Amino acid sequence: MSNKVRVRFAPSPTGGLHLGGVRTVLYNYLFARHHGGDFILRIEDTDSSRFVPGAEEYIMETLRWCGMEPDESPAVGGPCGPYRQSERKEGYREYADKLVAQGNAYYAFDTPEELEEMRSVFKTAENPSPQYDHRLRMKMRNSLTMGDDEVRRLLSEGMPYVIRIKMPDNETVSFTDMIRGEVSFNTSTVDDKVLLKNDGMPTYHLAVVVDDYLMNITHAFRGEEWLPSAPVHLLLWKYLGLQESMPQWAHLPLILKPDGNGKLSKRDGDRLGFPVFAMNWTDPRTTEFTQGFRERGFLPEAFVNMLAMLGWNDGSGQEIFSMQELIERFSMDRVHKGGAKFDFEKAKWFNHEWIKQASAERLLPDVKRVMESGGITVTDDRYLETVINMVKERCTLLGDFAEQAGFFFRTPVSHDIDSIRAKWNSDKENFFAEVQGVLKDLEDWSAPAIETAFKDLAVARGIKVGELQLPFRIMLVGGKFGPAVFDIAATVGKAETLTRIASMPSVV
């Protein structure tokens, strides 16, 4: 590519970040890094009525957690700032005025009541949802239906107005989508979108074109739900004389509900019991809480890996990718056209695989937080790392470490007696009374030495070793889980092992 790649993620600060939004970030980020380009975060906050306090900070924290720090953003600045649209307000009017002067846009003075009346009066069987378009614009109160003197008078009096694009009737506009190939639209199907609102702020349609131009964006990736807006944007690039600078577009497939029937929503997550936001989010306006993948116990590496595979693969059949591997192999021609069904069980599989392959050192901070949230204070990081290596293959979510590793730090307070009661007898009771002395005298407190001493006594007393190991596990762990039982004994230590055997409740 001759020009340096520059991509952007341009969210509105209206709430938590949905899976689809994070995947859009990811594909932008991977593409930029693959081509040695720049990744820009731009906040599209032109609609003050939808602004939510804390949402911008949430977005930036999500990108940090996922390891996708932008090269330019409101936080770090850059050569094309400011990076909040609300701080660029004055610049948009110049472009809107140019469109009006050319005859490609017009002033519209219609009140909200008049617009509501339009939707009612002009509703017909052929046009059940009237829009402000080529069929109705000449029936409305705008600069196309008024004389120049009247328009100037209204403007001078400060009459509220918006500026609308004048969409041509029955023209075909086309562009080449990097995923979908040639895409064409008939302009008759698109209404005259508002470009500049009555408060002087641009709508998305004008702002995205102006900002992409001024920020030298070379590629624009967004969800396929924005496809219907493409004709407006194509014409704006053309009318403003900026066609040579228009970025290449790619419209990403939707992330679908698990059954494939429609776009995945937060309600689906609430209904089916899985997160759809990257991180916890509490709406300050309603106090409504939504759980995120991070707090559910996902590693960011697994979350990113899972998202990458929702609509893309490299053709090799490989599923586990590090961020660096994704950067090296990512290409837009491997992004699918069709939507990808979200599967939470598959998401957990990714997390399990990443936990298994992660080093204890990598997992230590996360597991330490899990343990401390469960009331266990960790004072020896090396001991915790040993425990992590013993149990990580049994953990799907980070929260699983509380159960799978908790017994290494405190004596069980309950025991699954029912699982051993049926086969319990006096011989086994006598064995465990005797084995305490054997283990107490053991000088080599290692798993092999403990196992040998345990088995030798079992053979001497004529009891099958297999029938003794489950009771031993119940004594040490409290339940039927955990790594090899002799490894557990070696790790918790001699004194703790003997204490747990002695404090085992009566089985009968």
Q: Which of 98, 266, 455, 494 is catalytic?
A: 266
428 is in an annotated binding site: no
CA distance 178 to 334: 10
Residue 250 one-letter amino acid? A
- Rounded to the nearest 10 degrees, the angle between the axes of helix 344-357 and helix 300-308 is 130
CA atoms within 13 A on the CB side of 230: 25
- The gap from C-alpha 281 to its chain's centroid, in whole angstroms, comes to 12
- Please give the C-alpha separations between residue 367 and each of 117, 122, 379, 381, in angstroms, as whole numbers: 60, 63, 13, 11
Burial zone of 417 (CB within 10 Å; 0-12 exposed, 13-18 middle, 19+ buried): middle
Annotated active-site residue 480? The verdict is: no
* CA-atom Rg of the chain in angstroms: 32
CA distance 361 to 386: 10
158 DSSP 8-state letter: T
Strands 248-252 and 219-223: parallel
Burial zone of 170 (CB within 10 Å; 0-12 exposed, 13-18 middle, 19+ buried): exposed
Tell me which H or E stretch contains 256: strand 255-256
Q: Concatenate the DSSP letters of all residues of 51-87 into one string.
A: --TTHHHHHHHHHHHHT---SBBTTTB-TT---BGGG
User: What is the residue whose two structure tokens read 């901070």?
Assistant: 365
Q: Does residue 327 come out as left (phi exceeding 0), alpha (psi in the -120 to 50 range) or beta?
A: alpha
Report the sign of the C-alpha dihedral through residues 320, 323, 324, 325, in that order.
positive
Contact 63, 70 (CB under 8 A): yes
Strands 281-282 and 289-290: antiparallel
The verdict on whether omega for the bond into residue 82 sits within 30 degrees of 0, i.e. cis, is yes
Q: Which residues of 20-56 are buried (b: 16+ CB within 10 A; e: fewer)?
A: bbbbbbbbbbbbbbbbebbbbbbbbbbbeeeebeebb
Of 315, 320, 316, the C-alpha closest to 349 is 320
Annotated binding site: 266
Catalytic (active-site) positions: 266
Annotated binding site for ATP: 266
